[in-house]
Amino acid sequence: MSTGAIVMMVLAMVILWGGLAVAIVSLNRRPDAEDTVDREHLHRDL
C-alpha cells in the first residue's frame, strides 16, 4: 500500500468513527422524545 492510500484510509476511519462517537455523545446528552411526551394526553387512533 502506498503512503497516500494509508493516509486516506486513516482519514476515512477517523471521519466514520468520529461521527459515530459524536452521535453517541449527542444522544446521551439529549433526552429521548419519548421522555418528553405527556402520556396522560396522548391519544392513539387504531
pLDDT tens per residue across span 7-35: 999 999 999 999 999 999 998 887 666 66
Q: Which of 37, 38, 39, 21 is nearest to 29 (CA)?
A: 21
Higher pLDDT, 45 or 20: 20
Question: What does the pLDDT read at residue 44?
Answer: 72
CA 26, CA 19: separation in Å to the nearest integer? 10
CA 6, CA 31: separation in Å to the nearest integer? 39
Question: What does the pLDDT read at residue 30?
Answer: 79
CA 40, CA 43: separation in Å to the nearest integer? 8
Residue 38 has pLDDT above 90, yes or no: no
Question: What does the pLDDT read at residue 19?
Answer: 95
Question: What does the pLDDT read at residue 31?
Answer: 63
